[in-house]
Structure 1
Amino acid sequence: KGPGVKYAAGCPAPRQNPRGEPRHENNSSHCSVLLDRMPSEILLKIFSYLDAVSLLCTGCVNRRLYHLANDNFIWIRIYSTAFPAKRSNWKVNPVEETAVSMSVLSVEDKEAGYWKKEYITKQITSVKAALAQVLKPVNPYTGLPVKTTEALRKSGLGWAIILREKNGKEYIMEHVDLSINDTSVTVVWYGKNWPCLASLSTLDLFGVTPVFMDWYKTPTKNRPRWHSLITKYNLSHLTESAMIGCDRLVRIFCLNPGLLVGLWKKEEELAFVMANLHFHHLVERSTLGSATIPYEPPPHSPFLDDNPEYGLHGYQLHVDLHGGGVFFLCGTFHNLFTKKGNIENGYVKLIVINLKNNREHLPLIGKVGLSWRTNIVDGCIK
């Protein structure tokens, strides 16, 4: 060994080849086996020096390390350090001191992993609270949070789809690409290994949030995350849905709300999936639901109209027209109104641009169409 080169205790030094260069022959596997042979007491001592992230990763190695990494004494220390009890200037009375001592003594009475679950639950709650603070400022003109983009960046929020076959088998796909628009996010999934369309029954759209907010800086598929169901879609009769366009390679079908599915013309199999998610309650829908139940936003109570006899007035419409990251039109129309006869079944008809009035017409930028791409080809549907 040359000066300054050290090897971990218990791991054999690399063998020398005829030229004198070291040969690393399955050193990682040797170290793993030797680590697994260590007494539990020593491993627990080592684990006590790890942080929460490292401990969670260690528990994914094998069953024995998983059970050891659930040790309540280790996790209650991590929990107490991360979420210390609020202190006051008043002296703690003996009854409270006794209660604290009893809670520590009762650690052994809890099932293995209890304090790990408590820590993760508390960590998720703290992330949700931090996001709620970011989303507090609201734009008075749009009614949308001012810092939605910042909340998405800070949380590391992403989106995934679960394709479910009729026999119950599931395929989970992380988003491949996304673009943040003026008032929405466009998320795209594509790849080579799509399941057969004929075997699929449903598609579930989820928000996926890291348990630790700073993990978005070094993304990895194995990081601890929680899922929030946004919407379920039925794929059983996809080709019977409304086809909104096609080109020489793909056909595009629309599933409400806001999902576009591209099928290869030749094979009639999945080419890509594209979701357009509006900023309205986007972070809440992507984080506050569970893996099986979507988040329910608070009920909307419309303002009472000042002059019901003459219809509704004072409305505002914001239009953000884009396709595949290309913007064609972005504008806001103010002081819109409608007559009483145009209100029916909870819907209102607002005329924004008069077809016969050329002065109200707006130019569109570029070649209007839906741009799409896969890992092989791309295109644009007019």
Structure 2
Amino acid sequence: MATGRGRVLRQRWLGLQALRWPLHSGREAWVSGGAAPGCSGAFGFRKGPGIRFTTSCTTVSQYARCGQQSNFVSLDGMPSEILLKIFSYLDAVSLLCTGCVSRRFYHLASDNFIWIRIYSTAFSPKRSNWKINTVEETAVSVSFLSVEDKEAGYWKKEYIAKQITSVKATLAQILKPVSPYTGLPVKTREALRISGLVWAIILREKSGKEYIMQHVDLSLNDTSVTVVWYGKTWPRLAALSTLDLCGMTPVFMDRYKPPAKNGPRWHSLIAKYNLSHLTESTMIGCDRLVRIFCLNPGLLVGLWKKDEEVAFVMANLHFHHLVERSTLGSDALPYELPPHSPFLDDNPEYGLSGYQLHVDMHGGGVFYLCGTFRNLFSKKEYIEDGYVKVIVINFNNNREHLPLIGKVGLVWRTNAFDGFIERCPVVDVTLLDENRKPFWCFSSPVCMRPVTCPSDGPTFLGHTYHVDYKDEVGKVHAELVWIEETEEYFIVSLVLYLSVAKINYWFGTKY
């Protein structure tokens, strides 16, 4: 008969064998989340953004009940020394996931000795020969000696901070070249691809409960990206209070490898929206199935007509500082632009001159207009009610009038239905100042509203429509005419109204 000490040693040996058995048998390792043979039922743990960890057994005793012996100790009951040894073989992503299992695992997976090894491996200086420099050797030794002097989790935080700094530097380098035509980074699409960026909306109920949904579809335009969410399991609209739009990027990025789908992700708040503003005043169009509402900046919400519940959400994001806004903010605060240094205006008494406007009009992957207007100007006497008027297309000069391609509207899709809402396109505006710097950029759905009273000027054989947009920087007013004979729209007037306050801030002047 085995002595008491022998029984204890045997139980510990059997416990370790239970951990090793799946690896030896060629099946999925139980310690990494695989199910034991014959075990059914699974559950998940909540972790950081974008992480889901699912397992089928939590203790060795549960594992035993699935067909093995029943006298094994629990994994959580194992000595900390053994768990630390197991954790030391994990990479950074696996450690962060493991730390979300329980409070004890969190503290063990934050061990400074484990993380300083990961930190030193990732960020140690590259050596061209095998001999270690005395200074480097001393620095490494001092680092390891100071591990115990640091608070728990110090080197984990240092590693994550260094990784985020590295990501920022990589993206800044990619975004450095700028297009002379749009004033925007040339490689925005490449930066979006390399960063592993996805967009998510966080729907928050009045009770505080949250729902996080990653985007289902997106389309890249010349100067913006259109991101779409739809599905069958939307929460009830009456219970919702706000919607947050966020960018989510992997904390650890390797530009030569695709990002892990379930790795830890960083949340960057882009904009907050109040869903109580979905009223008749913000409705911009409808068809037989849905009504659509526009919330600035650039968000479009579609509601089913039948039950007034959410059908889809569409975000229109301009490329200007898009990567920074989607990656460099926090989950509570949006990214703040660096301090602006005013550009010196050589002749402020004359007014504005040398401006360039790029306009795109599209709707759900269909393009209706792509135009560039150069050498725009405005004199100081054009100031009206705190705005400087800039005429882009003159109503009285029919040589400047522009046709639109196709039947203008918005194409929408869900997993059950799709449709087309007439006269509700998305407009992208990129206005550059005389130094070719982006002065005003936005992407937003607009509504072409019919005009009952014709304007003074030329008479057109067709229905006239107005398009209006306004934000804190300025206003856009356009007039369009539908020509029945050719079945196309013509832009017969396009006027920008720039805020005097914005101009004074931009140039450091006093208009």
**Counterpart in the other structure of 1:140:** 180
Number of the residue aligned with 1:25: 38
Report the counterpart of residue 264 of structure 1 in structure 2: 304
- Normalised to the residue count of structure 1, the TM-score between the two structures is 0.84
User: Which residue identity is paired with 2:38?
Assistant: E
Kept in 2, the 8 Å contact 1:252–1:263? The answer is yes
Partner of 1:166: 206
List per-residue Cα deviations over 1:156-206 (Å, max 9, x = no partner).
112111111222211111111111110111111111121222222211111
Corresponding residue to 1:10 among 21, 27, 31? 21
| Structure exhibiting the larger radius of gyration computed from Cα positions | 2
Deviation at 1:316, TM superposition (A): 0.8
- State how far apart, in whole Å, the 2-side matches of 1:99 and 1:148 are: 39
Q: Does 1:128 align with 2:139?
A: no
Q: Which residue of 2 aligns with 1:338?
A: 378
Q: When the two structures are aligned, how many residues end up with a matched partner?
A: 365
Deviates more, 1:235-244 or 1:255-264: 235-244
Aligned mates of 1:13, 1:91 — CA distance in 2: 45
| 1:176–1:188 contact (8 Å) kept in structure 2 | yes
Matched, 1:371 2:371: no
CA–CA distance in structure 2, aligned partners of residues 141 and 244 of structure 1:
31
Residues 75/244 of structure 1: CA separation in 2 closer, same or farther (3 Å cut): same
Q: Deviations over 1:206-260 (max 9, x none)?
A: 111111224982552x311111111111112322442111111111111111111
Per-residue deviation at 1:55? 2.7
CA contact (8 A) 1:261 1:273 kept: yes
Q: Distance in 1 between matches of 2:267 and 2:308?
A: 30
Structure 1 residues 159 and 129, CA, compared in 2 at 3 Å: closer, same or farther?
A: same
- TM-score normalised to structure 2 length: 0.64
Aligned: 1:186 with 2:223: no
Where do 1:1-382 residues align within 5 Å? 9-11=20-22, 24-26=37-39, 29=56, 33=60, 36=75, 39-84=79-124, 101-214=141-254, 217=258, 219-220=260-261, 222-300=262-340, 303=343, 305-344=345-384, 347-382=387-422
Pairwise CA distance, 1:332: 0.7
Q: 1:275 & 1:30 partners in 2: Cα distance?
A: 41
Rounded Cα–Cα distance in structure 1 between residues aligned with 2:322 and 2:385:
27
SS at match of 2:181: coil
Return closer, same or farther for 1:51/1:91 CA change in 2, 3 Å cut-off.
closer
Contact 2:253 2:259 in 1 (8 A): no
Change beyond 3 A, Cα 1:242–1:363: same
* Structure 2 Cα separation of the partners of residues 56 and 283 of structure 1: 25
The structure whose residues are more often strand, as a share, is 2
Q: Distance in 1 between matches of 2:158 and 2:349?
A: 57
Aligned partners of 1:355, 1:302: CA distance in 2, in Å?
Answer: 34
Of all paired residues, the percent bearing the same amino acid is 78
Q: Which consecutive residues of structure 2, in runs of 5 or more, have no partner in the other structure?
A: 1-17, 27-35, 41-54, 64-73, 423-511
CA contact 2:202–2:212 (8 Å) conserved in 1: yes
Distance 2:384 2:156 in 1: 54
Partners in 2 of 1:29 and 1:301 — Cα distance? 58
Report the CA distance between 1:308 and its aligned residue. 4.4
- Aligned CA RMSD, in angstroms, stands at 3.2
Q: Return the alpha-carbon distance in structure 1 between the equivalents of residues 146 and 292 of structure 2.
A: 59
Q: 2:196·2:259 contact (CA, 8 Å) conserved in 1?
A: no
By how many angstroms is 1:148 displaced?
A: 0.9
CA distance 1:193–1:69, change in 2 (3 Å): same
